[in-house]
Amino acid sequence: MILKAIIVEDEETSREILRNYLKKYCPSVELVGEAAGIEEGLTLIRNNSLELVFLDVEMPYGNAFDLLDKVGDRTFETVFVTAYDHYAIDALNAHASYYLLKPISIDELIKAVDYVTEIKQQEERLQDQVLVPSSKQVQGKITIPLQSGFEVLAVDDILYCQADDNYTQIYLEKGKKLVSKTLKYFEDILADQGFARIHKSYLVNVNAVVAYNKGKGGSVVLSNGKELLVSAAKKSALLSYFK
């Protein structure tokens, strides 16, 4: 698969190094343009159908996050390339697929491109389809603790779980429950019952997913119409549930 890509980087030497590395080690990447600043980058993004943007964090008159805010809804993946490791959390929150530190490691660059390729191939296979789980739904029940004992919930009735500090909000077909357990707790007990962690805050019933959107970095739509963001790190694992 060919990935149409651009580089947004204010340092000419850094652009040259990345360009040469991509040409030599990542032949699946087709560079269609380069930009030295936010406005140039925005123009390239709006004028091209892209799969991948290599993006420096700090640039004149703003930063990478300002650029992504201006882009809004997007279908391309983002690989941050920066000399500063303290932007890692911000990059994750901006749904970056990968975070490369300068000087660029060739091995890490190849991993980044391979990861984006995997995501894009999966998205391409699922393009314009209503998703159907590839594995059979597992019937079952779980218990949630109450002061007076416990309550039994049918797993089928759970749409998704949302982290709330050390608590978890369980959203059901009808209503919701607040449980004094972490999201990781429910991730573990529901792992073999058709649930997937799609974000640091969300665990979804894969059987409740009716659509996948590439915009906003990736999101799923559930049977009740609720749309939830999918983090870049969880995207490939989620898409593997479907065929």
Specify the pLDDT at position 133.
Answer: 41
Mean pLDDT of 14-28: 96
Mean pLDDT of 119-146: 60
Specify the pLDDT at position 16.
Answer: 96
What is the rounded distance in angstroms from the CA atom of residue 243 to the CA atom of residue 233?
Answer: 20
Specify the pLDDT at position 223.
Answer: 93
Can you give the residue ranges of every domain in the chain?
Answer: 3-125, 141-239
Q: Rounded mean pLDDT of the chain?
A: 85
Contact 2, 27 (CB under 8 A): no
Specify the pLDDT at position 151.
Answer: 80
- 3-125, what's its fold? Rossmann fold (3.40.50)
Does 72 score more than 90 pLDDT?
A: no
Specify the pLDDT at position 93.
Answer: 64
**What token pair was written down for 24?**
């030599």
Confidence band, pLDDT 50/70/90 cuts, at residue 215: low
Does 105 score more than 90 pLDDT?
A: yes
Does 130 score more than 60 pLDDT?
A: no
What is the rounded distance in angstroms from the CA atom of residue 231 to the CA atom of residue 217?
Answer: 7
- 141-239, what's its fold? OB fold (Dihydrolipoamide Acetyltransferase, E2P) (2.40.50)
Does 155 score more than 70 pLDDT?
A: yes
Residue 38 CA to chain centroid, in angstroms? 23
Does 116 score more than 70 pLDDT?
A: yes
Does 128 score more than 60 pLDDT?
A: no
- The pTM of the full predicted model, rounded to 2 decimals, is 0.63
The percent of residues in the chain predicted with pLDDT above 90, rounded, is 49
Does 111 score more than 80 pLDDT?
A: yes
Mean pLDDT of 171-178: 91
Does 216 score more than 80 pLDDT?
A: no
Is the fold of 3-125 the same as that of 141-239? Answer: no
Place of tokens 């805010």: 69
What is the rounded distance in angstroms from the CA atom of residue 236 to the CA atom of residue 243?
Answer: 13
Confidence band, pLDDT 50/70/90 cuts, at residue 132: very low
Q: For 177-204, write each residue's pLDDT tens digit.
A: 998 888 998 898 888 888 999 999 999 9
Q: For 89-102, write each residue's pLDDT tens digit.
A: 666 666 788 889 88
Q: Residue 1: CA atoms inside 13 Å, Cβ hemisphere, count?
A: 19
DSSP for the chain, written as a single string: --EEEEEE-S-HHHHHHHHHHHHHH-TTEEEEEEESSHHHHHHHHHHS--SEEEE-SEETTEEHHHHHHHH-S--SEEEEEES-GGGHHHHHHTT-SEEEESSPPHHHHHHHHHHHHHHHHHHHHTTT----BSSPPPP-EEEEEETTEEEEEEGGGEEEEEEETTEEEEEESS-EEEESS-HHHHHHHTTTTTEEEEETTEEEEGGGEEEEE-GGG-EEEETTS-EEE--HHHHHHHHTTB-
